[in-house]
Amino acid sequence: MVKRLLSPSKTSSFFIFGPRGTGKTTFLRDWVEGKNTLWIDLLDPDVEDLYSRSPGTLGQEIRAAKNLDWVVIDEIQKIPRLLDIAHASIESSRVKFALTGSSARQLKKGTANLLAGRAFVYELFPLTHAELGEDFELSAALRWGGLPKPALLPSDEDKGEFLRAYARTYLKEEVWAEHIVRRLDPFRRFLEAAAQCSGDIVNFTNIARDSGADVKTVQSYFEVLEDTLVGILLDPYHESIRKRQRANPKFYLFDTGVKRAFARTLTETIEPRGYAYGRAFEHFVILEAHRINSYLRKDYRFSYLRTKDDAEIDLVVERPGAPTALVEIKSADRADVKDAHALERLARGFGNAEAFLLSRDPRLRKIGEVSALPWDRGLAEIGLGAARGS
């Protein structure tokens, strides 16, 4: 059993959102062990039919139960009306709710509105390097991502087939079945185009052309990916919030393996010192920073910087109460002095900042004002370190 970094409240109701396959159900089954729990699995067609027809059944079961501690509702977005029952039960009894969902999109449309602040909100992500501990392998993470299931499969062929099936399931169950988009074919083409440029600054016009959709539709498609938690947008850095919103963001799919499935590149090799390896490595490190920031409740804000002459900082990390961290990510096994000096020059434009060059180089070095560190040690130095899993 992998020990997850997520640590929900033991005294308050909460939501856990996350893409399918990240292990929400497994996590909660372990978390509620030993507690008096009512478990409702809405992925079971018979259970979903029962509560869809009669949501009030939930209230009746809660009132009939003795010494009930927790009610777990798995995939709550399938029947948002149950949130009304949960809301009333939280107000009138000691029972607490643990609610999971692969998307908050449907819930946000309802009147319950995530229980009006009466439940905390967490996210569960694919496995991080800290959770896997000694079992973590960087090459596997870049090729197959961090969803728990592929790690258990015996062959690369099986891992690839799982990820292809995952991509199809997302289209069928998360998008089409929930009526999130009106036309599936343009969205399918959009997914491939978005995956292929994952990690790049989003060019809405080019993706619209490749998808056979207009620009506004493509912008709404990116909102779908955010709402269904399979993608994050990284805004351009600027001290002015208003000016940040003017420039285009970068987009990152939530998992490197799923990204390759959507992009139809699962059969391509990823070798050190290759272009694809470098892109996958940067993608992975940024996702790790995003995940650990969420788990540790750091409230760091992430962005990227690109100047008018195309000089770039991969990750700008605004840390409350600490200097801004400027992070350059390179997949090389030896930190390059030229990369460090380029980052140092850009850092001079910041009033209070620390510069980090993260790579696969195992040595710790100080190059000018730049800390050159192994990527995992660097994340920890930035404040995004966590105890290794066991």
Per-residue pLDDT, 111: 47
Binning pLDDT at 50, 70 and 90, where does residue 246 land?
Answer: low
Q: Which residue has the higher pLDDT, 114 or 195?
A: 195
324: β partners: 353
Element (H, E) at 367: strand 365-367
User: Half-sphere exposure of 341 toward its Cβ, with a 13 Å CA cutoff?
Assistant: 3
Residue 18 DSSP code: -
Per-residue pLDDT, 171: 78
Comparing CA positions, the residue from 125, 216, 231 lying closest to residue 170 is 231
Domains of the chain in sequence order: 14-123 (3.40.50.300), 129-268 (1.10.10), 288-384 (3.40.1350.10)
pLDDT at 227 over 90: no
Residue range 46-58, pLDDT digits in tens = 999 999 999 999 9
**Rounded distance between C-alpha atoms, residue 246 and residue 242, angstroms:** 7
Per-residue pLDDT, 177: 63
pLDDT at 112 over 60: no
| Strongest mean pLDDT among 37-51, 176-190, 231-245 | 37-51
Q: Average pLDDT in the 96-107 region?
A: 83
Q: Average pLDDT in the 57-63 region?
A: 95
